[in-house]
Amino acid sequence: MRDHGIPAIGIVGTGGYLPAEVVSNEAVAERCGTTPEWIVRKTGIRQRRRAAPHEATSDLAIRAARSALDSCGLAPDDLGYVVVATSTPDHSQPATAGLVQHRIGATRAGAFDTNAACSGFVVALVSVARLLALEPPGAPRYGMVIGADTYSRVVDPSDRRTAALFGDGAGAVVLGPVRPGRGLVGARMSSRGELGDLIRVEAGGSRLPASPSTVADGRHFFRMQGRAVRDFVLDELPAFVRDVLGAHGVAPRDVEHFIPHQANGVMLQEVLMKLNLPRARTHLTVGEHGNTGSASVPLALDDARRGGTFTDGDLLLLTGFGGGMTFGAALVRWEGGTC
């Protein structure tokens, strides 16, 4: 990007929000006929959060957005874009991002949603960074990217394969100008649409509108072929990451922080053994948050930033993977002192 005179765009603020209600493994196990020990053994998850009845995805996103703005001292009017990555929007229309844009008072911002399932945040981050880099003089210089999901509204509480995994939450970053040599270094996305049936919500769209029969049959619930998803990720993600690094002239040993989608703690340990990132510190929040979908990468990023683990010039690798099937990766050189 910067070889062509396009300005450097990077992360200048982070924020997050987790609902107040903590859902224990004991509570999940009781509803889906398993044990807390089974959940930990299969997922590494000890607890997750659940949105209150009055909280929708936009409510979580708003809290995360305000947190991110506070972290970098910017005002809503500084934003040129508000983008929400989600697969559990408030409505099919209007876009959840438009609701967030209005509620936070970002009066100069364009707003839209992205849905690449659990890769969505990474895809949205790269998209907004490139949009900002092309803005003319005088336009707003910053953009808000939020990953937010409320999977508690679409997961079948009696299905242990999914009820044990998912939680609700939102994470956000503010993107803006950074020094040359910092910010977004490179990115890539990959899709395997022929595997779309591995993760799905069948009813509620134009193919199969919601009806009494679809609700009675549970076809509005999230369904996942867990074993097939695990095999796909373990087989394909390491090669995808190697290709991304190689395409941008980055050696595996140069990555200092790895922030993956927090899908399943046990699976992530298997992924790490195959990735061979010898110097990278891997940031995992899945044990306490569960799988929060599009929110998982920015929540882990915010947790690491608040813990003071990044220093100026550190190279971060962000990866998402999920339904579609999709992969997304972004290489970001950290700008110290921005948040």
Q: Give residue 76's domain range.
A: 1-339
Using the predicted structure, report yes or no on whether residue 337 has a pLDDT greater than 90. no
CATH number (domain holding residue 320): 3.40.47.10
Using the predicted structure, report yes or no on whether residue 163 has a pLDDT greater than 90. yes
In the residue annotation, 118 being an active-site residue is answered as yes
Q: Sign (positive/negative) of CA torsion 87, 54, 100, 62?
A: negative
Q: Which of 118, 257, 264, 339 is catalytic?
A: 118
Using the predicted structure, report yes or no on whether residue 332 has a pLDDT greater than 80. yes
Query: Residue written as tokens 């409320």?
Result: 150
**5: confidence class by pLDDT, cuts 50, 70, 90:** low
Q: Which of 25, 264, 291, 339 is catalytic?
A: 291
**200: confidence class by pLDDT, cuts 50, 70, 90:** very high
Domain count, the chain: 1
Average the pLDDT over 54-82 and give the result. Answer: 98
Using the predicted structure, report yes or no on whether residue 4 has a pLDDT greater than 90. no
Average the pLDDT over 165-189 and give the result. Answer: 96
In the residue annotation, 32 being an active-site residue is answered as no
Q: Which of 261, 264, 283, 339 is catalytic?
A: 261
Return mean pLDDT, the chain.
95
Using the predicted structure, report yes or no on whether residue 338 has a pLDDT greater than 90. no
CA 87 to chain centre: 10
Using the predicted structure, report yes or no on whether residue 83 has a pLDDT greater than 70. yes
Amino acid identity, position 272: L
Q: Which of 70, 42, 24, 57 is nearest to 305 (CA)?
A: 70
Using the predicted structure, report yes or no on whether residue 3 has a pLDDT greater than 70. no
* Residue 280 contacts residue 258 (beta carbons within 8 Å): yes
Structure token pair of residue 189: 């996305």
